[in-house]
Amino acid sequence: MDTATPHAAMDTRGPAGRRRRRVRLVVLLVVFFLVTGAVSAAVAKYRGCQEPPPATGSSVAFPIPSGATGQDVVAALDQRGLIRCGGFVGNLLLRKTGKAGKILAGTYDLRVGMSLEEIVGVITTPPPKVPTVRLTVPEGLRISTTYPGERSISSVVADQTGLSAKAFASLADSGRYRLPPFLPRRAGTAEGFLFPDTYQLVKKGLTADGVIRRMLSQFKTEAQSLDLAGGAERLGFSPYQVVIVASMIEREAQVESDRSKIASVIYNRLAHGMSLGIDATLLYDDPTPDGKLSTSDLTTDTAYNSRLNAGLPPTPIASPGAASLDAALHPADTGYLYYVLCPPDGDGVHRFATTYAEHLRNIKQCLG
């Protein structure tokens, strides 16, 4: 035992022991250089990611949807070539700005070559407040005023924006506007297509043309949402004709539940070749413009006298809202051919009939 111990210690100091120490040293050096290299590469990548991409002089429209996270924004910036790195490093650089939680939804014009700090400055800065004017146009108004005190789209526009009512009406009725496939050029007027809504308009440089085009654009949005073109085709009418029907519904219906039933009366009478007998169409082209119909007015033969002439009037008679457009596209399935305002049934409620005899009874009961 006493002679074995020094012998074993001598082995650890021998050639084999020295080889093991050299191997361990080589391994340590390899690990050291690998770690050092990885750290150097990571530092180089981090520094490289801080540099903006080469400037090209071009700009990119960069949308940020509501609810987008900083990670979403970094990924999109990387995809559009506006920063060099996305992923972990990009998110790290974004957090380093201290503004990752202050990004605002919107669409921004960003130049290729901007630094991330510059980009973040743009997408976290609220836009300057622009003076606007609020315009609210109710349903059922026509473009022009025909008698003193009548409320029209042009008078509402004049009251709320300061634009000339006369100039607005003249431009809207000029025939220069079209909105395919809804408003054909041959219509000669934008009547029925200036969509009733509330608009927030930029005050500076506001013009009648700008207001008209904004209202037409809103009509197109609503019409596409309702599938006006497809719905009209299914009914066997043109989109323009359906808007004419909707305008009559808008002027006639006073309660929501009557809209689709009035629509059914109009389509049923058209199918039977009957005159529509809707006095609102004659009031649109009132022979004695006073907002009332005299006996002579009822017998005046004009294109808008739907008592004397079968078929639709040549143009819409007012601007219908979405509810009347929807009713014109989805009439109630009835055999009704007549209706009369019936105060005993409720304020603004109409009573409907299939036969003329029934209609006469309704008139007696409703109007006395």
3-state SS class at 133: strand
Please list, residue by residue across 306-322, b when 16 or more beta carbons sit within 10 angstroms of its beta carbon and e when fewer do.
bbeeeebbbbbbbbbbb
Written as one letter, the residue type at 267 is: Y
| Domain span holding position 155 | 132-226
- Does the structure show a pLDDT above 50 at 325? yes
Q: Which residues 6+ apart lie within 8 Å of 219 measured at CB?
A: 179, 182, 193, 194, 195
Is residue 329 within 8 Å of 232, Cβ to Cβ?
yes
Angle 303-214-255 from CA coordinates, rounded to 5°: 55
Between the alpha carbon of residue 93 and those of residues 3, 55, 66, 327, 330, the distances in Å are 67, 20, 22, 55, 56
Residue 179's DSSP bridge partners are 183
Q: What is the pTM of this model?
A: 0.70
- Does the structure show a pLDDT above 80 at 123? yes
Q: Note whether residue 35 is domain-resident.
A: no
Same domain, 268 and 193: no
- Render pLDDT for 143-201 as a digit per residue (tens, 0 to 9): 999 888 899 999 999 999 999 999 999 999 999 999 999 999 899 999 999 999 999 99
Tokens of 346: 């409720």
| CATH code of the domain covering residue 118 | 3.30.1490.480
Q: Give the pLDDT score at 38.
A: 46
Query: What is the spatial distance between Cα 266 and Cα 276, in angstroms, rounded to a whole number?
Result: 6
End of a domain among 93, 123, 153?
Answer: 123
Is residue 243 within 8 Å of 268, Cβ to Cβ?
no
- Render pLDDT for 19-40 as a digit per residue (tens, 0 to 9): 676 667 555 555 544 445 444 5
- Render pLDDT for 220-229 as a digit per residue (tens, 0 to 9): 999 999 999 9
Same domain, 181 and 240: no
Is residue 136 within 8 Å of 126, Cβ to Cβ?
no
Alpha carbon 282 to chain centroid, angstroms: 34
Same domain, 207 and 272: no
User: Per-residue pLDDT averaged across 97-125, rounded?
Assistant: 89
Mean pLDDT score of the chain: 88
End of a domain among 77, 100, 123?
Answer: 123
- Does the structure show a pLDDT above 60 at 320? yes
Q: Note whether residue 43 is domain-resident.
A: no
Same domain, 153 and 220: yes
End of a domain among 226, 250, 282?
Answer: 226
User: Per-residue pLDDT averaged across 330-335, rounded?
Assistant: 98
Query: What is the spatial distance between Cα 139 and Cα 244, in angstroms, rounded to a whole number?
Result: 14
Cα atoms in the 13 Å half-sphere on the side-chain side of 300: 17
Query: How many domains are there within the chain?
Result: 3
